[in-house]
Amino acid sequence: MPDPHPDTHDIIQANRDHTLFSWSVQTQTNPIHMTGGKGSHFYDGDGNTWLDFSSQLININVGHQHPAVLEAIKAQVDTMCFAGPSFATDVRAQLGQKLREVTGLGKSFFTLGGSEANENAMKIARLYTGRDKIITRYRSYHGATMGSMTASGDPRRWPVEPGVPGIVRVFDPYCYRCPFGKTPDSCGRECVSHIEEIIQMEGPHTIAAIMVEGITGSNGLLVPPDDYYPKLRALCDRYGILLIDDEVMSGFGRTGTWLATQHYGIKPDIVTCAKGLTSGYMPLGAVVVSDAIAEYFETHFLAGGLTYSGHPVSLAAAVANLKVYEDEGLFEHTRDLGAYLGQRLEATKAKYACVGDVRYKGLFSVIELVRDKATKEPLAPFNGTSPEMGRLAAHLKSRHVYAYSRFNFLWVCPPLVVTREELDEGLAAYEEALALVDEMIGS
């Protein structure tokens, strides 16, 4: 248990007075003063220890303050803090090689985060295909830069609309609330076949890529049926459309594999990643392109660059972070503990009236909350909240369990180093909160 910080309230006030917090009305922000962390926990200025069931922004996969990643960052800082993007460096060679190995693709272009990765992926797809349009899904988030924000399907895109031209949106594989009113056993995968119809209407020759999250994260963790990706891949191949797999949130061990799409046995043309690439220890994103696309740029101009593309300290953090995944068997651990988590979540669905659905893959999981299991009325409206969702979040906060909730969704995404005991401890707090919600809805 850390000591309370003597100036914690002044520090919070100074943060609020002089800085802007993202995605917020500033007077409604209530930041926690974070002072440190270790493994699955972090500490606040009042001396509290929090169980991090959200891995911060679902990115700190190896947990807080992993010594191997810290060491690698320090060593790189001592050797060489910066090299411009046109220089060759040791760490650039190492990470490029590693990403080729784990994705099965060709070459990597480095960015500083996920939004920039998607921005560049869309640009590369346009340059390579000579086509303009990008198909994305409604329940998606691809970032907060102009292009990636427009590409996002969720309401976070609304403030920049009409945004960049050429984005066409389609429906999602959301089986619990199938947009076509079907059930997975008899739907014929209309979530794919309607995309084909849209491709026909838009003109196949105008569509550069379909960009999807490997497994949709912040829009309710939508785990697609097993044959979704093979069908989507076939559709892309039929029309010469690239498949861009945004693995920013679902990649790098979160689901127990390098990429979420590896569960489905397909290979995308472009993978974008960030978050779990460095576990957030340094800012880094990557666009990993197929051999065919890499080959194209052997003789064509790559029109894009960033001062910090290939930042050596970020790359060193990534190389060390990926080694931690392998050295500590964290993906096996994630798959094992994920199976246990899945059972626990199914049990909450059986026990609590407010749990409409649970979806999970590895340590990537969500509880979807409803007012009524039969009608599936959401516990909070789309893009809104409710007193019940507020109560649930307040309870978890009072227990110092840091959890991500949005609309009628509550995520369970602890760091991949979480132990079974820590998982049980956090889930116990979740169950208390679900019981409170059941009381509120009168069940």
DSSP assignment string, 27-93? GG-----EEEEEBTEEEETTS-EEEETTHHHHT-TT-BT-HHHHHHHHHHHHH-S---TTS--HHHH
**Apex 368 CA angle, 215 and 383, nearest 5:** 85
With binding defined as CB under 6 A, does residue 274 bind ligand PLP? yes
Q: What is the DSSP letter of 260?
A: G
Least CB distance to ligand PLP at residue 269 (A): 17
With binding defined as CB under 6 A, does residue 249 bind ligand PLP? yes
Site for ligand PLP (CB under 6 A): how many residues? 15
With binding defined as CB under 6 A, does residue 172 bind ligand PLP? no
- Report the residue number, 314 or 386, with the smaller CB distance to ligand PLP: 314
With binding defined as CB under 6 A, does residue 246 bind ligand PLP? yes
Whether 172 contacts 207, CB under 8 Å? no
Least CB distance to ligand PLP at residue 404 (A): 10
With binding defined as CB under 6 A, does residue 245 bind ligand PLP? no
Pairing outcome for strands 167-170 and 207-213: unpaired
With binding defined as CB under 6 A, does residue 142 bind ligand PLP? yes
3-state SS of 103-140? HCCCEEEEECCHHHHHHHHHHHHHHHHCCCEEEEECCC
28: phi > 0 → left, psi -120 to 50 → alpha, else beta; which?
Answer: alpha
Reported as half-sphere exposure (CB side, CA atoms, 13 A), residue 400 has a value of 15
Whether 260 contacts 215, CB under 8 Å? yes
Percent of residues in the chain assigned helix, strand, coil, to nearest 5: 45, 20, 40
- Report the residue number, 149 or 354, with the smaller CB distance to ligand PLP: 149
Among 37, 63, 96, 143, binds ligand PLP (CB under 6 A): 143
- Report the residue number, 214 or 378, with the smaller CB distance to ligand PLP: 214
Chain-centre distance of CA 439, in angstroms?
32
- Report the residue number, 218 or 386, with the smaller CB distance to ligand PLP: 218
Applying CB under 6 A, the span of 37-45, 140-148, 325-333, 434-442 interacting with ligand PLP comes to 140-148
Q: How far is CA 324 from CA 110, 251, 417, 420, in A?
A: 21, 15, 10, 19
Span 117-136, contacts to ligand PLP by CB under 6 A: 118
- Three-state DSSP class for 357? strand
Span 51-80, contacts to ligand PLP by CB under 6 A: 57
Least CB distance to ligand PLP at residue 29 (A): 18
Task: Give the long-range contacts of residues 196-204, CB within 8 A, separation 24 or more.
Answer: 196/235, 198/135, 198/168, 198/170, 199/135, 199/235, 199/239, 199/241, 202/133, 202/135, 202/168, 204/239, 204/240, 204/241
Among 114, 147, 276, 415, binds ligand PLP (CB under 6 A): 114
Chain-centre distance of CA 243, in angstroms?
18
Least CB distance to ligand PLP at residue 251 (A): 9
With binding defined as CB under 6 A, does residue 248 bind ligand PLP? yes
With binding defined as CB under 6 A, does residue 213 bind ligand PLP? yes
With binding defined as CB under 6 A, does residue 388 bind ligand PLP? no
At 301, list the tokens.
Answer: 């101009």
With binding defined as CB under 6 A, does residue 41 bind ligand PLP? no
* Residue nearest to ligand PLP according to CB distances in the complex: 114
Longest dimension (CA), the chain: 66
Among 218, 255, 309, 365, binds ligand PLP (CB under 6 A): 218
- Report the residue number, 50 or 141, with the smaller CB distance to ligand PLP: 141
Applying CB under 6 A, the span of 138-146, 173-181, 350-358, 401-409 interacting with ligand PLP comes to 138-146
Least CB distance to ligand PLP at residue 143 (A): 4
- Report the residue number, 223 or 274, with the smaller CB distance to ligand PLP: 274
With binding defined as CB under 6 A, does residue 113 bind ligand PLP? yes
Least CB distance to ligand PLP at residue 217 (A): 5
- Report the residue number, 33 or 406, with the smaller CB distance to ligand PLP: 406
Give the span between the Cα atoms of 184 and 138, in whole angstroms.
19
Among 115, 129, 290, 314, binds ligand PLP (CB under 6 A): 115
With binding defined as CB under 6 A, does residue 261 bind ligand PLP? no
CA-closest candidate to residue 53, choices 420, 431, 330, 423: 423
With binding defined as CB under 6 A, does residue 358 bind ligand PLP? no
Residue ranges that bind ligand PLP, judged by CB under 6 A? 57, 113-115, 118, 141-143, 213, 217-218, 246, 248-249, 274
